[in-house]
Structure 1
Amino acid sequence: MSKKRPKKLNESSESMAEESSEKLERSAVFEPDFREDLRFWIENERKVALRVMDLVEAAMRDPFDGIGKPEPLKYLGVGTWSRRLRILGRDRTQERAIREVLAMPVDHPRRDRIPQLLASWKVRIDLGGIEDFSGQEALMALSDAFLQWEQQHDERLRQEVNREAQQTIALKMLREGFSLKQIARLTELDMAQIQVLQSHNTPDSF
Structure 2
Amino acid sequence: MRVSRNSENDTRLGKEDAIILEIIQQICRKLNISQFKYNPYRIEWRDSHGQQLLAHNSTIDPSLIILQENARGKLDPFEWEVLITADLIYRFKLRKQLLLELILSVGLPVLGGVLFFAFIVQYLFSVLGLPSIVYSIGYFSLIAVLWIGFGRLGGKAVRRVRQISDERTAEIFGTSRFLETLRKIESLNVTNVDRIKERIRHILEAQSTLPDHA
TM-score interval (norm. to shorter): 0.3 to 0.5
Greater relative contact order (Cα < 8 A, sep 6+): 2
TM-score w.r.t. the length of structure 2 is 0.32
